[in-house]
Structures are given as structure tokens and as C-alpha cells.
A and B are shown apart, each in its own frame.
Chain A
Amino acid sequence: MIPGSTPIASAGAMNMIAALLEQRAGQQIAANRTWRIETALKPILRARGLASLDELVAQLIAARTGELADLVVDALLNQETSFFRDAAVLDMIVDAAAEMQAEIGTRRLRIWSAGCSTGQEPLSLAMLFSERGLPDPEIVATDVSPAALARARSGRFSQFEIQRGLPVRRMMTWFDTVGADWAAKPELVRKLQFRQHNLTLDPAPAGMFDIILCRNVMLYFSLAVRRKVFDSLASAMRPGGLLALGAGETVIGQTDHFAPCERYRGFYRPVDAPGTLRAAG
């Protein structure tokens, strides 16, 4: 194979890899985006000296352990994120959290950042709470990708990543240089609990959450998988809690467990009786 050229792949190999991703992570790859498979898996092909995706699929079939499948799925997951992505949404979440905190008194607010990728979303939230002088909430940040979570836990970001969405004054306050990278200060990373979690297969993290962020995740799921994930999110949501989705995502026509929130536009409230789903589930 010429370095950098497109690996040869049969339709069968593409279908099998797409099916593996859907089975393991619930994510679908649209027919017009199958080029992503080739691009994302090139490093694995190179590392293993394979000439084509067909050869990779042959190895996947022959493999005795799921290690190679894990690698392939991890490489295919979209880990696109940035600091303060849709900053107005995060500001509104902190406004809502301040109101909730006033209502709940001394109980610590619980926030779930579902599909946190390499950690920029929960780190942004932790910075905002601290800067606004609010009590630190318990922030549980989960992702299906072990590689993304390892990076999130390290709090280290490249020069390109650190400059996406993060104002320079915040960078100066919350990050230090480590070689060519930037590392979040330990006191910031300590505010977060990172856990590996598969939204489509695993039960929601223990306990109930006041706010759940699941932004730009649902768009990769089929309608059936989305319904299941909304069930799971609803089961973990306190009555009166808030759900934040990505800009192009909605609950309308997807689930009966959430409805648009009148107080905070663009957010959703749970409509089930408290704990119904968790008790049933």
C-alpha cells in the first residue's frame, strides 16, 4: 500500500466494522460517512502492518480476545469536544445550579457529564462553579472510551486543544505548562470523578443527579438506542432536575420521560414520578 493512500476495503468489511461499533457503543455511522472508518483505522493498520480493512476484519474474526475489537471501537468513537463548547449553555447550567443549590440547602448538587470525551466539558463546568463562588458540585464525568478517559484523568492538553474555547485568562489561572502540553492544575482535576460508562449498555451511575449533560452524543445513536438512553438518563434524574442536550438534539419525538423546560430555554425537565424508572429498572 502507498503510505497515506486509502486502504482497500470491501463493503463487507465496512459493514462488519460499522456493526461492531453499533454493537459495542450503540453508535451508527451514516452511509455517507463511511470514509471515517478508513481515516480512523489507518493508525491501527499501520501499527499492525496490515494492507487493508479486509485484513483487519480477518484479524478481528480470528482474535481470541476482544482486545483488538476494543482498539477498533475506541478509534472509531468521535471524541470531538472543546472547552466551553456552547458557552451560553454552560453559563445557564451554572445559573440553574445556583438556583437549585439555594433550594436544596446544604445537600451537595450532583451533575453527570455523560459522554465527556477527553474532559473539556466537566473541566469547564468546574472552572465556572469555582469562578462564580458556588459550592463545588459533585461532578461525575463518564465516557465509553478508555483512551479518552485516560486523557481526561491526566488533565493534559495539546497546544491546539487548550486554545479551543478556553479564554487565555482562564488558561493562566487553571493550567500550567508541562513540556509542550498544558496540564490542568490538580485542584481542578480533583473536582471531577471520571468513570468508564457505556450509555447504551450500562446502568446509570449510582445515585440521583440534579443536572445531566449529554451533549452531542444522541446524534450518533439510532432512534431505538436513543429511547433506551433517555430511559437511563430519566432513571438517574431527580424530580425537577435539568437535562442539557447538544444544539441539534431534542427529546421531542424521542422520549416521553423529558419535556422542554419553560424556565430555561433549550433544556429539558423529567416528567416521570420520582424514582419510577430506577425502581422499575
Chain B
Amino acid sequence: MKTCLVVDDSKVIRKVARHILETLDFEVREAGDGREALDSCLQTPPDVILLDWNMPVMSGMDFLRALKDSGLPQRPKVVFCTTENGMAYIRAAIEAGADEYVMKPFDRETLESKLQIVGVA
């Protein structure tokens, strides 16, 4: 079973994502900000991270940079999942090392499709 870490400061989004991911046979972990997510990754790296952009304490972009610098031998796949839907944001995320990008609002098909594209579903 693959593991997905859902990083979002919204409990509702985490709940919706968890529900979808569990129907896709993922084991789901949650984090409310980038700092929590980094701690979780360093303890046990997930297969994939679903990452919000704007969060308190540590943003998605700061988390991504910190993850790159963390020296994890096998970096998890990172799928941004955010309401920042403009091309400039998408380009910045991909240039910073994100593997895929989900524009909110999302549905099951979108999430499944993007997880397939990064090779974890």
C-alpha cells in the first residue's frame, strides 16, 4: 500500500483528500503546515505528498525547498494542490521541483489522474 502525506491547513480539504485517497488504496497521513510535513517526511518518507501552497508556519514552497535540502535518499513525489491556479504559480512550482500540480477545486478523477502521472497510483 502506498502512502500519501496530505499537507493542508484546511481540515476540510484534508478530510476530502483523505476520503478520495483511501478509496484509491492509499495509506494517508496528514500535516497542517510545511514544518509538520517536513518532520513527518524525515521520520518516515511517504511515497507522495499532496501539498498546499499557502499555509501558516511554513508555506508549500518553503517546504519544497527544505525537502530538497534535507538529504532524503529517496525524495517523495510532490504534487502541489492549491487554489493558486495561474500559469506563473504553476511554472514556479515545477521549477522549484514539484512533480505535478492539482488546481483546486479538485475531484476524484483529477487526483487519480495526477497520481497516475507521477507513477504512484
Tell yes or no: A168 within 8 A of B by CB.
yes
Tell yes or no: B71 within 8 A of A by CB.
no
Are A163 and B102 neighbours in the complex by a CB distance under 8 Å? yes
Q: Interface residues of A toward B: which range?
A: 10 to 19
8 Å CB contact of A82 from B90, B91, B103, B113: B113
Tell yes or no: B86 within 8 A of A by CB.
yes
Minimum Cβ distance to chain B for residue A262 (Å): 29
Which stretch (A101-109, A169-177, A242-250) binds chain B? A169-177
- Nearest-CB residue, chain B, relative to A165: B113
Are A172 and B103 neighbours in the complex by a CB distance under 8 Å? no
- Nearest-CB residue, chain A, relative to B101: A168
Measured between beta carbons, the chain A residues less than 8 angstroms from B27 are none
Minimum Cβ distance to chain A for residue B53 (Å): 14
Minimum Cβ distance to chain A for residue B75 (Å): 17
Are B85 and A159 neighbours in the complex by a CB distance under 8 Å? yes
- Nearest-CB residue, chain A, relative to B86: A177
Measured between alpha carbons, how far is A40 from B98 in the docked complex, in Å? 39
Q: A168-B100, A168-B101 are in contact. Are A163 and B87 (CB under 8 A)?
A: no
Measured between beta carbons, the chain B residues less than 8 angstroms from A82 are 109, 113
The 8 A CB mask of B65-96 against A (1 = contact, 0 = none) is 00000000000000000000111001100100
Measured between alpha carbons, how far is A171 from B87 in the docked complex, in Å? 10
Measured between beta carbons, the chain A residues less than 8 angstroms from B113 are 82, 163-165
Measured between alpha carbons, how far is A121 from B49 in the docked complex, in Å? 29
Minimum Cβ distance to chain A for residue B90 (Å): 6
Minimum Cβ distance to chain A for residue B58 (Å): 23
Are B117 and A167 neighbours in the complex by a CB distance under 8 Å? yes
Tell yes or no: B110 within 8 A of A by CB.
yes
Measured between beta carbons, the chain B residues less than 8 angstroms from A169 are 94
Minimum Cβ distance to chain B for residue A117 (Å): 15
Are B87 and A176 neighbours in the complex by a CB distance under 8 Å? yes
Measured between alpha carbons, how far is A13 from B36 in the docked complex, in Å? 59
- Nearest-CB residue, chain A, relative to B88: A177
CB contact list, B28-82 vs A, under 8 A: none
The 8 A CB mask of A129-168 against B (1 = contact, 0 = none) is 0000000000000000000000000000001100111011
Measured between alpha carbons, how far is A177 from B89 in the docked complex, in Å? 12
Measured between beta carbons, the chain A residues less than 8 angstroms from B102 are 163
Measured between beta carbons, the chain B residues less than 8 angstroms from A176 are 87
Tell yes or no: B107 within 8 A of A by CB.
yes
Minimum Cβ distance to chain A for residue B61 (Å): 16
- Nearest-CB residue, chain A, relative to B112: A164
Q: Which 9 A-B pairs have the closest CB atoms?
A: A168-B101, A163-B110, A164-B113, A167-B117, A168-B100, A165-B113, A159-B103, A164-B109, A177-B87
Question: What are 18 contact pairs spanning A and B, CB under 8 A?
Answer: A82-B109, A159-B103, A160-B109, A163-B103, A163-B106, A164-B110, A164-B113, A165-B113, A167-B100, A168-B94, A169-B94, A171-B90, A172-B87, A172-B91, A172-B94, A176-B87, A177-B85, A177-B87
Given contacts A82-B113, A165-B113, A172-B91, list 7 more A-B pairs with CB under 8 A.
A159-B103, A160-B107, A160-B109, A160-B110, A171-B90, A172-B87, A177-B87
